[in-house]
Structure 1
Amino acid sequence: MSSWRMNTTAWDNTTTKAFSVFDGCDSQVEGILFDLTLQCINVAVGIPANILVIAILARNRKDPSTSDIYLGSLAFMDAYFGSMTPISFLNLYHWQSKEVWSALKFSYGVKDTSGPLFLSCICLDRFVAVVFPLAFGRLNGLKQRLALTVLVFGLTFAYSAAKTVGGLPDFEKVFTGEILATFTWMVVCNASILWALKKSSGVGKDEMHPMKRKAFKIVLSILCIIVVNYLPPVALFPFEDYYSPDVFRCYVQPVGFAFLNISSTIQPLVYLSRLEKVPFLPDEWVRKCCPCAAEVKAKTKPGSNGSDQKRA
């Protein structure tokens, strides 16, 4: 999703400029390598974490939460995006193929769109559940969520196909508009959920019902992730005209996208850290990898209902 992968016409007009996998940043590769370095974390940590999330959701399919279809789709898309990172390195320094570049642009389009849209769906689901519980009870079915998932997949593939074809004027502004809209929605949505939970708790947060307090912490953690991963591109991209074209394409965009790309690792780790017990993994591994989460879980009362606490 870095600048070198954004919509380019460099190789569409072969009479004026030779094809370059760096998209004109051949001598200014620092921003691109920074983005790819963070993407390596997605390969080492993000792919296994997302596969584990998918396995857990499949294991719990008989007792699913309302957001599982969105979580599973998001984990699948993030795992697919992470798997393309080694191909990116090979194409940059070995193959330098236009065909591979087109496949990579499609995967970047998938990440551009699927992450913000599926997170927005999760925020919508939780917003309705907390703020409009009666309406949530009437709409608490798979049909509506499946239709929304199909719509997101359709928008994702349409955007990715357009990015792959290239040559569309001001195409990068589509992503800027999308990220601004989804970021605003997610912040407002999660802030409303936090306010509703806080207001319903009475005098202070310490007096909340245990499940509301847990929901409060979950939504707060998601809000922090949204700000960390999405605020950099939201803060930088609308000011494209203030940068020179080379600086924006080779430095500003790769750095902004790097924060968004690492969400492919952060999102599944946050989900796994909220589980009462992580299936398929020994408890010793969990304690070593996430001692803070293990300490919190150790304090959980024996009589608590694990099925209610296992996921958001």
Structure 2
Amino acid sequence: MEVFYINSSVMFIQKGSNITSQEQTVFEQCKHIPTIILFYLGLQFVNMFLGIPGNVMVLWLLLRNKRDSSTSDIFILHLAILDTLFCLIPPLELVNIVYVTTSSTWYVLRFFYGIKDSSPLFLSCICVDRYIAVVHPLTFSALRDRWHRAVCVAVVWLITLAYAAAKCMGNILNFAKTFTVMILATFAIMLFCNLSILSALRKSAPARDEMHPVKKKAFRTVLLILTIIVFNYLPPVALFPFQEYFPQDVFLCYIHYIAFGFMDISSSIQPMLYLCKDISCSRSCCCKSCADQQTNTDDVSL
């Protein structure tokens, strides 16, 4: 039996032993546990209805406030573009999972899945940028106005498009392991950077109650970001390295959809978090200290 993985959704085609399986939709092949697919599709439509307006709003705010932008905004901007593209696919995905048996339309979906798979690369750039700002402020000051962030963005997009094109082909042997390695590496980077930021902020005062209000707010914000990173990316990190230990139908119809459902919903959570931070700052701008607060927290909050 030959199995083709299509990442955020799966259509597995059996050759030779069972020709009729090629005429079944993904939903029919997983009809023994349909609840998981319905759960996954529900999350995808949440992404469409919340993620598209949320990410468009983030793009609008970033482009409007260019003069007051932080160093990480370039990464947030391109992450919002990536997530907006991904949030467009739920209608096509629904049709392909529930109704369509042909494999031709999956080429489009595989390309968009490849784009979403690479989103942790931009998140890692954001985390590294803020890690340097908090833990190594002198180095950050020296690099603040350099062009290296634009170069990083270009490199990430080259990797993203190359990865998406390779996934679109769908015929590269053991290509699924590339995603496993990438998600493990980026998760480790994000976890290290955020824990280091929390540790640095925590050590900035003898006791948490004595911490400066601005630093206390930054501490809580980074703690929230860390929680969301773990919530969104821990399931694929914890499950995918052990996929060989699961029965094939359980992994393809159950584990796969749960892991990517939690990861994909980040396309809605990330812009909502950014917008909540922006609204909070806008309200505090009524106070005289808002400008100072924004300057101190831009590099450690999403």
Q: Give the match's secondary structure for 1:255.
A: helix
Q: Rate the CA distance shift 1:254–1:9 in 2: closer, same or farther, 3 A.
A: closer
Instruction: Percent identity, please.
Output: 43
Q: Give the match's secondary structure for 1:18.
A: helix
* Structure 1 equivalent of residue 247 of structure 2: 244
Q: Rate the CA distance shift 1:84–1:110 in 2: closer, same or farther, 3 A.
A: same
Aligned-pair distance for 1:305? 2.0
User: Paired residue for 2:235, among 216, 232, 236?
Assistant: 232
If the length of structure 1 is used for normalisation, what is the TM-score?
0.84
Moved more, 268-277 or 86-95: 86-95
Could you say what the CA RMSD is over the residues aligned between the two structures, in angstroms? 2.7
Q: Give the match's secondary structure for 1:275.
A: helix
**Kept after mapping to 2: 8 A contact 1:110/1:157:** yes
Taking the aligned partners of 1:9 and 1:250, their CA distance within structure 2 comes to: 10
Q: Rate the CA distance shift 1:2–1:9 in 2: closer, same or farther, 3 A.
A: closer
* Structure 2 equivalent of residue 211 of structure 1: 214
Deviations 1:243-279 (A, max 9, x none): 1111111110110110001101111111111114688
Aligned-pair distance for 1:218? 1.7
Q: Rate the CA distance shift 1:172–1:204 in 2: closer, same or farther, 3 A.
A: same
Taking the aligned partners of 2:111 and 2:179, their CA distance within structure 1 comes to: 14
* Structure 2 equivalent of residue 83 of structure 1: 88
User: Paired residue for 2:149, among 137, 140, 145?
Assistant: 145
- Structure 2: state its 5+ residue gaps: none
Count residues in correspondence: 290
User: Paired residue for 1:198, among 197, 202, 207?
Assistant: 202
Taking the aligned partners of 1:33 and 1:10, their CA distance within structure 2 comes to: 21
If the length of structure 2 is used for normalisation, what is the TM-score?
0.87
Taking the aligned partners of 1:227 and 1:257, their CA distance within structure 2 comes to: 13
Written as runs of structure 1 = structure 2, the 5 A alignment for 1:111-122 is 111-113=116-118, 115-122=119-126
**Kept after mapping to 2: 8 A contact 1:4/1:21:** no
Deviations 1:31-65 (A, max 9, x none): 33321111111111111111000000000112210
**Kept after mapping to 2: 8 A contact 1:3/1:250:** no
User: Paired residue for 1:160, among 146, 157, 164?
Assistant: 164
Aligned-pair distance for 1:98? 3.4
Q: Rate the CA distance shift 1:232–1:191 in 2: closer, same or farther, 3 A.
A: same
Q: Give the match's secondary structure for 1:27.
A: coil
- Structure 1: state its 5+ residue gaps: 280-296
**Kept after mapping to 2: 8 A contact 1:2/1:257:** no
Taking the aligned partners of 1:11 and 1:92, their CA distance within structure 2 comes to: 17
Q: Rate the CA distance shift 1:264–1:38 in 2: closer, same or farther, 3 A.
A: same
**Kept after mapping to 1: 8 A contact 2:120/2:183:** yes
Residue 66 (structure 1) aligned with residue 71 (structure 2): yes
Aligned-pair distance for 1:3? 5.1
